[in-house]
Chains A and B, each alone.
Chain A
Amino acid sequence: MSATDTTIDTPVAAPTLSKDEILRYSRHLIMPEVGMEGQLKLKQAKVLLIGTGGLGAPLGMYLAAAGIGRIGLVDFDVVDHTNLQRQIIHGTKDVGRKKLDSAADTMQDINPFVQIDKYEVALTSENALDILRDYDIVIDGTDNFPTRYLVNDACVLLGKPNVYGSIFRFEGQATVFAYEGGPCYRCLYPEPPPPGLVPSCAEGGVLGILPGMIGIVQATEAVKLILGKGEPLVGRLLLYDALAMRFRELKLRRNPECPVCGDHPTIHQLIDYYQFCGVPRQAEEPVAAAGDLTAAEVKAKIDRADDFVLIDVREPHEYQIAKIGYAKLIPLGELPKRLNELNTADEIVMHCKSGVRSAKAVDLLKQSGFKKVRNLKGGILAWSDTVDPSVPKY
């Protein structure tokens, strides 16, 4: 056997497209930028999608439709009604189901030719490298800081491109990190903000279409990387403003001093990202300060006509959605300037939507010399659950 023969031996089973697949992908196949060669690359590609929420929904659907051969999904959440305004991979019929099952069903319905690997776990420092290792490209659709730094570091350590997207209200960011020596997320932001400073969509809201736009940018970049076509979104941070309907681009550079991808990295293994981001690991319930009142206790005070003041520290537009009739509205941001409307001699109860902002308001008042001030634990959500179900939850 000559030397040239042995090189021909190596591809074991060259992938092919079936007649049905050729028909399905015909709009790709007739474009020279994709063609049969590109479609086979897509079929051989393995993409890991972390999260099947706002960003993950369009990602999962388009990646499946595009014919990515193997798509890993990581999620452990359950579909609820508030998801449906933007997470279009799930439907009303899926409320209460695991997002993993709901997303996989939608994707298999779109394209039964793709293989879907389901990981019903939270991505952690312990399991991330093992899960990511099998895939060519990683896409983080979770859009939270601990997972973002975890995925960033894991991708840098494994040498996998990390397709990034993030959203807030009407604005989004997207880029590709850790691709062929390009910058990583730590080059852009070495450290996360302290918890609570940057509101999540659950607190700050989000235009339902926005994650669609950013997720589709991420999906486009993943497909381009696989095809090896075009100019990847590397070294460029794309900013999108839906209100202005404007895209902008900023330069993104690898930081030679980056602790994970710099010239002299100091991070060689995954760390505790909850600690790094200042997020307490346990305790789902916000720590109940001594003296917190339950919704039922506040109701009893109102019924007994106790002498006390109930202050709602939410925003006026939230007050329009749902309110406790007895409460006076002073948004948290205005509270420092409106302390003169309150009397330190009065017993004061603060409430918000879930009890987090009102806990801050309680602290603020205590620092200002108020002593008889307490928090309504669980906020108006708890009020709706335990006192008055006619108050809508949002």
Chain B
Amino acid sequence: MAKILIPTPLRQYTDKKDTVELGGATVGEVLSALTSEHPDLRRHLYTDEGKLRSFVNVYLNDEDIRYLNRDSTPVATNDTLTIVPSIAGGITDVSH
């Protein structure tokens, strides 16, 4: 089982859970298991074409999966997957 850390903005789609443990041989399989269990999460992680969105990064332990084998990256038991979306707490000024 791999541990998936869910960031605050996405916890509303995982029944408020901050950590989910799921099985899978690759990053793609684990994330697929995650979105099956929490279907509302899917459109926040993937585009309609099934690509990981460009404002969401996934890390296997401390490495960005874009620099590994992306979805095909093997996952071992006790690995941690971290989902890190871009955040911005400030107010966007639209007056200019």
Contact = CB atoms under 8 A, between A and B. Distances in A.
Interface of A: 51, 53-55, 122, 124, 142-148, 166-171, 173, 188-193, 195, 197-202, 204, 206, 211, 237, 239, 248-253, 255, 274, 277, 279-284, 333
A251 B92 contact: no
Nearest to B59: A250
Shortest 7 CB-CB contacts between residues of A and residues of B: A143-B90, A201-B89, A191-B54, A168-B87, A144-B90, A193-B55, A167-B89
B55 A189 contact: yes
Contact of A167 (B67, B82, B87, B95): B87
Contacts of A277: 92
Nearest to A124: B96
B55 A253 contact: no
A220 B14 CA distance: 35
A258 to B, nearest CB: 12
Given A122-B95, A193-B85, 18 more contacts: A55-B90, A144-B91, A145-B86, A146-B93, A168-B87, A168-B88, A188-B86, A192-B55, A198-B55, A199-B9, A206-B89, A211-B89, A248-B62, A250-B59, A274-B94, A281-B96, A284-B94, A284-B95
B-side interface mostly: loop
A143 B94 contact: no
B62 A168 contact: no
Given A189-B54, A191-B55, A250-B82, A168 B9 contact: yes
B64 interface: yes
A124 B88 CA distance: 18
Given A237-B84, A250-B84, A200 B95 contact: no
Contact of A198 (B9, B64, B93): B9
B89 A54 contact: yes
B94 A251 contact: no
A144 B93 contact: yes
B87 A282 contact: no
Interface of B: 7-9, 12, 44, 53-55, 57, 59, 62-64, 66-67, 82, 84-96
A252 B64 CA distance: 7
Given A171-B8, A193-B53, A144 B92 contact: yes
5 contacts: A147-B93, A148-B88, A168-B88, A189-B57, A284-B95
Contacts of A211: 89
A200 B89 contact: yes
A282 B94 contact: yes
B64 A166 contact: no
A251 B62 contact: yes
B93 A51 contact: no
Contacts of B54: 189-191
B88 A144 contact: yes
A237 B82 CA distance: 13
A166 to B, nearest CB: 5
Nearest to A195: B92
A166 B67 contact: no
A274 B94 CA distance: 8
B89 A166 contact: yes
Contacts of B88: 143-145, 148, 166, 168, 198, 200
A169 B82 CA distance: 18
Contacts of B9: 168, 198-199, 204
A170 B8 contact: yes
Contacts of A142: 90
A280 B94 contact: yes
Given A122-B95, A250-B84, A53 B53 contact: no
